[in-house]
Amino acid sequence: MIIVLKPDVTKKQFDHVLERIKALGLKPMVSKGTERTIIGVIGPEDALRVQPLEVIPGVEKVMAVLKPYKLVSREFKPQSSVIDVGGVKVGGKELVVMAGPCSVENRQMLFDVAKAVKQAGAQVLRGGAFKPRTSPYSFQGLGEEGLKLLREVSKEFGMPVVTELMDARDLPLLEKYADIVQIGARNMQNFELLKEVGLTQKAVLLKRGLSATITEFLLAAEYILSQGNFNVILCERGIRSFETHTRFTLDLNAIPVIKKLSHLPVIVDPSHATGEWEYVEPMAKAAVACGADGLMIEVHPNPEVALSDGPQSLLPKKFAAMIKELRKVAKAVGRTI
């Protein structure tokens, strides 16, 4: 931790800062420059991090030297993590494609989509039973009924299931029916939910919040790891910017940044990011090209009657064609699908 003092700091203020640092069992190192005096603090920075040193009179600013997260960092674990989900490995050389309808609407539709995406190359089946909807008047999902259908269909095709958890009270249900518990973008900082899934050993797919910085994203993952669950898969799904042609702005920069900072696998959801099926394929290719470990794609047999997110859903045929193209890009960057 570096503490920069104001140019007009008094002797009394200066002594008070030193005292506070020592009181925490830390060792201050003072450097007097021509324009500012700075104090470097040697020793575990965590004790200082939670101290509001900025408010001490005479302090101009406090600059952290270390990152605020630990367990998710590459410094803590240099080799990339591979999360095993019912035999499917996320984070390895082979890219993982999670595909399916936005919401589970009925058995037939789910069956048809699962069959099609499995055939095309998807390894994991996605589908929402509990749906976070911006409007209270929109379809809110089938609930447990949807979970049962997911489990049933997934067994039929031997595909692990990923589905969203919105309420900690539903966790036992998801533990029973799902292989990967998804924490949605709007719940990325629902810390109670993070702690709860952290207490299980279920794989967690953590989506980046709409306005979460990468640091906040990693800290949300840290919540889960700090409870003992290291099976976390990160998912970039677009952030909020001023641009309105796409629903969100897919931040692909985040992929190499996260890969550098963390050992956790990271996948990309181009369906939610763009909000329009025409843009899903180019952004999926870009995601693969810049190093994502997988994709999450919405597929619907008849988007114009989908109960949610129709505009961004691909037809099964289009999905299959896209996977073929993605295989070429994956090969170009030394990966497989």
Does 199 interact with its own copies (rule: CB under 8 A)? Answer: no
**How many Å apart are CA 44 and CA 46, to the nearest integer?**
6
Does 254 interact with its own copies (rule: CB under 8 A)? Answer: yes
Q: Which is nearer to its own copies, 17 or 159 (CB)?
A: 17
Q: Which is nearer to its own copies, 112 or 216 (CB)?
A: 216
For its own copies, what does the binding mask look like between residues 297 and 336, x meaning CB under 8 A?
------xxxxx-xxx-x-----------x--xx-xxx---
Tokens read off for 22: 């020592």
For its own copies, what does the binding mask look like between residues 18 and 57, x meaning CB under 8 A?
--x--------x-xxxxxx-x-xxxxxxx--xxxxxxxx-
The residue type at 95? L
Angle at which helices 191-198 and 214-226 cross, to 10°: 40
CB 164 within 8 A of CB 130: yes
The residue type at 72? V
Q: Which is nearer to its own copies, 72 or 159 (CB)?
A: 72
Q: Which is nearer to its own copies, 160 or 303 (CB)?
A: 303
Q: Which is nearer to its own copies, 279 or 319 (CB)?
A: 279
Instruction: Please provide the size of the chain in residues.
Output: 337
In whole angstroms, how close is the CB of 84 to its own copies at the nearest point? Answer: 25
The phi, psi pair for 127, rounded to 5°, reads 175, 140
Q: Which residues pair with 62 in a beta bridge?
A: 3
Contacting range for its own copies; rule: CB under 8 A; set: 88-96, 106-114, 147-155, 247-255: 247-255
**How many Å apart are CA 274 and CA 237, to the nearest integer?**
9
In whole angstroms, how close is the CB of 268 to its own copies at the nearest point? Answer: 10
Tokens read off for 181: 């518990």
Q: Of residues 126-185, which lie at the interface with its own copies (CB under 8 A)? A: 132-140, 166-169
Does 239 interact with its own copies (rule: CB under 8 A)? Answer: yes
Q: Of residues 64-93, which lie at the interface with its own copies (CB under 8 A)? A: 65-66, 68-69, 75
In whole angstroms, how close is the CB of 1 to its own copies at the nearest point? Answer: 9
CB 294 within 8 A of CB 267: yes
Of 121, 105, 99, 115, the closest CA to residue 271 belongs to 99
Tokens read off for 84: 């095993």
